[in-house]
Structure 1
Amino acid sequence: MKPCIAVIVSLFVMATVAARAADNPAGKAEQLATDLFKASGGDNWGKVKEVQFTFVVESEGKALFSAQHVWNVAAGTDEVKWKDKQGTDHHATAKLATPVADGDEKTAYARWVNDSYWFLAPLKIRDKGVTVEAGGPKDLNGTSCETLHLSFDGVGMTPTDQYVLYLDPQTKLVRAWDYIPKTGDGMQATWEKYQTFAGLTLATEHNFNGKTIRLTDIKVTSDK
């Protein structure tokens, strides 16, 4: 096949796939989820053995809270260190497959659920119990972004929560999300300051309602 003909055929196939996805909401959602997962380094996620990070909440430049995580992905544990509102140090290791019902281990598990989702939500999009739906294009600060709606079936500690992800049209990464709780006020938060760690492309800052979440001290260990 001549090169020019091959290019034309390739473009035709791509256009056909895109058209079918547009006519098939489930197919569109699956394509968006696949694009996001791959853009975030999903092909490398299976190689990851350990993730270290610190989850920091700030307001007006002042740290309100921080939690240090050493997540042993292979062993299914997360060692967490944090201070409570009274300034007391806490240190516990959560067993992620069999979380306990009380004490510091319960708090450590809750911190893992919350903090790791702010850090790695795009890499959890393939987790069991996650349902994705295409929400169509929406404006985000003057940019038209495809949106992906996430809902959950028995996942996490608040499975009735939902999210709408705004995907960058060029990078396919999350630019912002809408958090939609079952009760109470929702909010929109940015996903920004992306960096790459062991093949994972991750946002290290989120801004919302006058507060900032920073992910710092990041180290990802993976098989070569």
Structure 2
Amino acid sequence: MKGFRGWMMVLAVALLAAGCDGPAEEGEGSVGGEAPVLDDEGEEGSKARAEEELPVAPTPQVEGPAGELAARVFEAHGGQRWPQVEELGFRFVVKEQDEETFAATHDWKVWEGVDRVRWTDEEGVEWDVTVNLDDATAEEASRDGDPIEGEALEIAGKGAYTRWVNDVYWLLMPLKVFDPGVSLGHEGELEREGETLEVLELSFEGVGLTPGDRYLVQVEPESGEVRAWEMHLQGDRPPQLVFWDDYQELGPLRLSVTRNFEGSERQIIFDELRVK
């Protein structure tokens, strides 16, 4: 998965296309002492027009069935509207038999390229790290509430960046199908529970933390929504089918917030979601 710089390139293209220079500074775009004037459209019309003028990113064009399916996935989950997301907060939660076994909290300032990540590791150590996503360095961090610096700060930054890469990909994979280094393939159709699904293959050309991974993404062809993915992770681990459930509207995005693992009671849940 690519780093934050690629996301900002998409944002920059969208802002330029919309004729914007980015978020306004405080006080910008207003005239002191003058009340806003509504035009003949009224308040609702003005609101609708403002929504239409929000920045959007063009859907990348990749020829062939795989590119067409990827475009439907990208658009169905809000990929074109990703430049509108200034901040994204969520918890990445792992559950076993309805018991929470791990959680990481993210307060991601998307436009700034910074994420504050809080989690407890396997040894019970509590980490609180603010990481710069351009270079995976920690701006500040604490361990069990105590500030750290030097080599410990460097290690904390890498740990937080790894958490961001993993957790964001689980949540936002549909928005990242056109990332640099991603290879797309169309693996035909399959039938499951009376539904015909198309299969989009995602593989990686030397990018991300685990470039040997491969995903077979099962897509409802009309809506473009992901129903499941079959994970083929690098190493000797067997494939694992994970269902994508519980779709929600989250600001300009539409995302699944529950992952159910086939043949087990394991789940990944996204909660405390906040989109600015």
TM-score, structure 1 length as denominator?
0.83
2: CA distance, partners of 1:167 / 1:107:
32
- What is residue 71 of structure 2 aligned with on the other side? 34
Q: Give the corresponding residue for 2:52.
A: none
The residue identity in structure 1 corresponding to 2:258 is E
The structure 1 segments of at least 4 consecutive aligned residues displaced by more than 4 Å after TM superposition are none
Aligned length: 197
Identity fraction in percent: 37
TM, length-normalised to structure 2 = 0.68
Find the aligned partners of 1:86 and 1:188 in 2 and give their Cα distance.
Answer: 29
- Structure 1: gaps spanning 5 or more residues: 1-24
1:219 and 2:274 aligned: yes
- Over aligned residues, Cα RMSD in angstroms? 1.6
Q: Is the 8 A contact 2:85 2:252 kept in 1?
A: no
Q: Residue 57 of structure 1 corresponds to which residue in structure 2?
A: 94
List alignment gaps of at least 5 residues for structure 2: 1-61, 138-150
Q: Name the structure 1 match of 2:84.
A: 47
Does structure 2 retain, via aligned residues, the 8 Å contact 1:26–1:133? no
Which residue is 1:162 aligned to? 214
8 Å CA contact retained: 2:69, 2:221: no
Could you tell me how far apart the structure 1 residues matched to 2:95 and 2:245 are? 16
Q: Deviation per CA, 1:193-221, whole angstroms, max 9, x where unpaired? A: 00011120001000113201000000111
Aligned to 1:196: 249
* 2:173 is the alignment partner of 1:121: yes
**Secondary structure of the structure 2 residue equivalent to 1:103:** helix
Structure 1 distance, partners of 2:181, 2:275, is 26
Alpha-carbon displacement from aligned partner over 1:45-98 (angstroms, at most 9, x marks no partner): 112111100000001110000000011111212110011123221011222221
Aligned residue for 1:210?
Answer: 265
Q: Distance in 2 between matches of 1:141 and 1:105?
A: 44
Q: Counterpart of 2:64 in 1: which secondary structure?
A: helix
Aligned residue number for residue 232 of structure 2: 180
Look up the SS of the partner of 1:87 in the other structure. coil
